[in-house]
Amino acid sequence: MDIKTAASLHRLRLVSAPEAVSFILLLVCSVLKRTTEFNAVPVMGAIHGVLFVLYVLLWADAWNRTKWDLKTAALYFVLSVLPFGGFYADRKLRRAADDAVIASRARREGTVSA
């Protein structure tokens, strides 16, 4: 994995958890709007909207750079629309990055001939 691909995955990972948190907060604000006088939906909606668009842009960049198959790309997109999916995506991306670093070091040291 080259440095640009790793950076692309890192950027996607950095935005996945905040996007998930904003989605959960938006859901909480929606419930509070209907049950109380508290209405933070316009603010949280805008914040979540920006983070979601950013996630989709970074997802497309990561898909382009990593050459994911359609199943993997679809999984990461579906995770963006599930309330806790961003946390799962963050964990999967962290594991993939760690595996790539280990494989890169092994190739550099001549342990693996891949």
pLDDT computed for residue 8 by the predictor: 87
Taking the mean position of all CA atoms in its chain, how far away is CA 5?
14
Report residue 79 as tokens. 């995770």
Read off the pTM: 0.83
pLDDT tens per residue, the chain (114 residues)?
Answer: 677 888 888 899 999 999 999 999 999 999 999 999 999 999 999 999 999 999 999 999 999 998 999 999 999 999 999 989 999 999 998 888 787 778 777 877 876 555
pLDDT computed for residue 46 by the predictor: 97
pLDDT computed for residue 23 by the predictor: 95
Q: Helix, strand or coil for residue 35?
A: helix
Instruction: Report the chain's terminal Cα–Cα distance, integer Å.
Output: 12
